[in-house]
A and B are shown apart, each in its own frame.
Chain A
């Protein structure tokens, strides 16, 4: 199944947002490992480091697996969609990326600021700079359906004259 997912990864013709860029989904979830502060003297994250066995990060693991399922389904349903999975603690990448993506949505500054502020959470989904979910994600099927619907709407909206037909 993983090979099947991978084989469809390279996108063909990608749908476009208003500013002509491809659609981009950012899935936010915490890695089941320590992120900072200890670094070169130890790091918790047992399954990754072979140190320890206790499920310290089982809560993050549950979200990782849920996001993983969404990712796999989306890869099949929307192979051309660019998807990034990012840890909310990676603030240097996450917030500038959301700010840049939201620029293509054609919305005002207030809207963009709201998306920016809501971008980081333990689990979330951000499509073309618009925060769809904060802190919780519905079932994988619901997320995939919702994103499919939004992509359809946006692509229709992005093609001049589409609404008139």
Chain B
């Protein structure tokens, strides 16, 4: 089947979802009122609360929610075939992410722009705020671990991409100096930065960076050495002021995201590539099955809990009219779904023949360890349809993924530092409070240890339990979504509306998450992967806690609503 058909089917389904289902949500579930005074009007201060044009806000919202995860998850999940992957992306986006992101904006806007953490404490229970903090703690630990491994795998497999990926750092720093110190206009510097970055791609091909010698010298594998180097970089980067590196990198990342989406879709259309992956890949009985693992392997791209932080953090404070929430929340979810679609296309139509695909996706370990490599190869192929050498195209894709992953790790370690401090304070462990160096070191060492944990179906059998870490990451991301959907459900019920549209994805996610956690637990126990076992067990406890909190809050609200009528 031509890959183009998949674009038409997916975007068509998104259109129908927006046209009909989001309309139903807007009218019947969230009961949007165009005359409701949003926090942007009620609290208008021109700082946090500003009535904002919905197109501006969609731009802010979409770029804030898009990252590398909607690429990695689908790139692994096509292991079960393109049909389950795309079906989950479509159904998850239309019935999950759309409901979740849209609902988080509306619920927050109806509560004076309060964020989801505060709302969970208010709407569910005071304990839910602690639960939120703990879920985020595990989520960040896993995020940092998986992205450390992602970058190491890419650098090892594509040594030609090291120079362009590294050169982003001084480019971003120069842009930072220009924008924040010299107070200059940013368009030309950011275009120059992007051009320099793309010029560095062929330079990187000419001078590939391999660290085999260094790895041999320190007595570690190449991948382990890369992982350690990347975490060392993250330790330093997360200590820098944000204006120096993280913030100016936004100017590059934003353009990269758009360029990547355009060239992938253009490449597919121009090349008229066929999907060579099977619709459903029959996998061995003793490996991970699509049911339930598909639903936690693709989190971002189908439904991601972190979107609720963006939705309730800044977006809800700026919506001009309550009815704009549909366009921004549901539209942003569809944007993320499109990124997942791009990843699926690259990994199902960009790898060559059916036999090539079978080799790349021979096992779950190969699929997870090689996922990003497959995405990169696929994008390289699509770019070759546009007349760009495939190797250069692949380097371009590596740079896109690595800049996103690097930013994610920088952010993740900073956030983890803050959360560790907060947890230490809650636990009365004052010795950690204010100790930035120690906190950063801890925030780096824990995911580093996880990233290096041996066992499981590692990256191509190289000893990295990447697939396991990824599914655990997906689990915690879905838990965050579960928490947000619980808040939305209780709020909808409190308004005497049927919360079924939010409860169905909530129950589905919690069921799949719990099931996958139990299967993982048994597997880790069988394999003796104690570190992962502890992690999985802790997340399972949080899941049980969330289920209890959600059921209690819904029951309480249901009784309250019944008593009121």
- How would residues 293 to 304 of chain B score, 1 for a CB under 8 Å from any chain A CB and 0 otherwise? 000000110001
How many residues of A sit at the interface, in one of the four size bands?
A: 35 or more
Q: Of residues B59, B64, B132, which shows the largest number of chain A Cβ atoms within 10 Å of its Cβ?
A: B64
A40 to B299, CA, bound (A): 9
B171 at the interface (CB under 8 A from A): no
Contacting residues, chain B, for A95 (C-beta < 8 A) = 187
Take A9-B41, A9-B51, A39-B69 as given contacts and tell me if A34 and B187 are in contact as well, using a CB distance cutoff of 8 Å: no
- Cβ A122 vs Cβ B183 within 8 A: yes
- How would residues 39 to 76 of chain A score, 1 for a CB under 8 Å from any chain B CB and 0 otherwise? 11111111111111110110110001101111110010
- How would residues 303 to 315 of chain B score, 1 for a CB under 8 Å from any chain A CB and 0 otherwise? 0101101100110
Contacting residues, chain B, for A136 (C-beta < 8 A) = 183
| Residues of B218-270 contacting chain A, CB below 8 A | 241-243, 246-247, 249-251, 253-255, 257-258
A57 to B56, CA, bound (A): 21
- Cβ A37 vs Cβ B70 within 8 A: no
Take A2-B42, A44-B246, A89-B254 as given contacts and tell me if A35 and B63 are in contact as well, using a CB distance cutoff of 8 Å: yes
A58 to B184, CA, bound (A): 19
* CB proximity of A60 to chain B, nearest CB, Å: 8
From B152-160, B346-354, B408-416, B533-541, the one touching the partner chain is B408-416
A-B pairs with lowest CB-CB distance, top 7: A52-B418, A135-B183, A71-B46, A37-B407, A39-B67, A48-B313, A68-B47
* CB proximity of A98 to chain B, nearest CB, Å: 10
A135 to B249, CA, bound (A): 18
B427 at the interface (CB under 8 A from A): no
A36 to B59, CA, bound (A): 11
From A14-22, A103-111, A112-120, A145-153, the one touching the partner chain is A112-120
| Residues of B494-533 contacting chain A, CB below 8 A | none
- Cβ B67 vs Cβ A70 within 8 A: no
* CB proximity of A77 to chain B, nearest CB, Å: 13
Contacting residues, chain B, for A117 (C-beta < 8 A) = 185, 187-188
A35 to B313, CA, bound (A): 12
- Cβ A42 vs Cβ B250 within 8 A: no
B403 at the interface (CB under 8 A from A): yes
- How would residues 1 to 35 of chain A score, 1 for a CB under 8 Å from any chain B CB and 0 otherwise? 01101100100000000000000000000110111
- Cβ B115 vs Cβ A50 within 8 A: yes
Q: Which of B242, B307, B404 contacts A56 (CB 8 A)?
A: B242
Could you tell me which A residues sit within 8 Å of B by CB distance? 2-3, 5-6, 9, 30-31, 33-54, 56-57, 59-60, 64-65, 67-72, 75, 84-93, 95, 116-124, 134-136
- Cβ B257 vs Cβ A72 within 8 A: no
- Cβ B43 vs Cβ A2 within 8 A: yes
* CB proximity of B255 to chain A, nearest CB, Å: 7
- Cβ B46 vs Cβ A44 within 8 A: no
> Residue of A at shortest CB range from B303?
A40
B285 at the interface (CB under 8 A from A): no
* CB proximity of A37 to chain B, nearest CB, Å: 3
Q: Which of B184, B190, B255, B415 contacts A42 (CB 8 A)?
A: B415
* CB proximity of B240 to chain A, nearest CB, Å: 10
> Residue of A at shortest CB range from B47?
A68
Contacting residues, chain B, for A42 (C-beta < 8 A) = 139-140, 143, 306, 408, 411-412, 415
- Cβ B258 vs Cβ A92 within 8 A: yes
Q: Which of A49, A90, A121 contacts B117 (CB 8 A)?
A: A49
Contacting residues, chain A, for B190 (C-beta < 8 A) = 120
* CB proximity of B323 to chain A, nearest CB, Å: 16
- Cβ A90 vs Cβ B246 within 8 A: no
* CB proximity of B84 to chain A, nearest CB, Å: 21
A38 to B50, CA, bound (A): 24
- Cβ B64 vs Cβ A36 within 8 A: yes
B360 at the interface (CB under 8 A from A): no
Contacting residues, chain A, for B317 (C-beta < 8 A) = 48
- How would residues 178 to 201 of chain B score, 1 for a CB under 8 Å from any chain A CB and 0 otherwise? 011011111110100000000000
A39 to B67, CA, bound (A): 5
Q: Of residues B241, B242, B404, which shows the largest number of chain A Cβ atoms within 10 Å of its Cβ?
A: B242
A92 to B411, CA, bound (A): 24
A6 to B37, CA, bound (A): 10
Take A5-B44, A6-B41, A35-B63 as given contacts and tell me if A40 and B304 are in contact as well, using a CB distance cutoff of 8 Å: yes
Contacting residues, chain A, for B63 (C-beta < 8 A) = 35-36, 39, 89-90
B322 at the interface (CB under 8 A from A): no
B398 at the interface (CB under 8 A from A): no
* CB proximity of B475 to chain A, nearest CB, Å: 14
B65 at the interface (CB under 8 A from A): yes
B60 at the interface (CB under 8 A from A): yes
- Cβ A121 vs Cβ B47 within 8 A: no
- Cβ B314 vs Cβ A71 within 8 A: no
> Residue of B at shortest CB range from A96?
B55
Q: Of residues B44, B143, B419, which shows the largest number of chain A Cβ atoms within 10 Å of its Cβ?
A: B44
> Residue of A at shortest CB range from B404?
A37
- Cβ B117 vs Cβ A135 within 8 A: no
B549 at the interface (CB under 8 A from A): no
A30 to B354, CA, bound (A): 48
Beyond A40-B477, A41-B69, list 8 extra A-B contacts (CB 8 Å).
A36-B64, A39-B67, A40-B306, A49-B117, A59-B180, A64-B48, A71-B46, A93-B53
A151 to B434, CA, bound (A): 51
- Cβ B187 vs Cβ A90 within 8 A: no
* CB proximity of A63 to chain B, nearest CB, Å: 10
- Cβ B185 vs Cβ A68 within 8 A: no
B66 at the interface (CB under 8 A from A): yes
Contacting residues, chain B, for A60 (C-beta < 8 A) = 243, 247
- Cβ A65 vs Cβ B47 within 8 A: yes
- Cβ B55 vs Cβ A51 within 8 A: no
A89 to B474, CA, bound (A): 29
- Cβ B411 vs Cβ A43 within 8 A: yes
> Residue of A at shortest CB range from B310?
A43
Contacting residues, chain B, for A123 (C-beta < 8 A) = 183
A33 to B414, CA, bound (A): 13
A90 to B414, CA, bound (A): 24
A37 to B310, CA, bound (A): 13
A134 to B115, CA, bound (A): 33
Q: Which of A68, A69, A93, A134 contacts B56 (CB 8 A)?
A: A93
- Cβ A68 vs Cβ B186 within 8 A: no
Take A49-B117, A121-B183 as given contacts and tell me if A39 and B66 are in contact as well, using a CB distance cutoff of 8 Å: yes
- Cβ B143 vs Cβ A41 within 8 A: yes
A118 to B179, CA, bound (A): 12
- Cβ B45 vs Cβ A118 within 8 A: no
Q: Of residues B37, B44, B46, which shows the largest number of chain A Cβ atoms within 10 Å of its Cβ?
A: B46
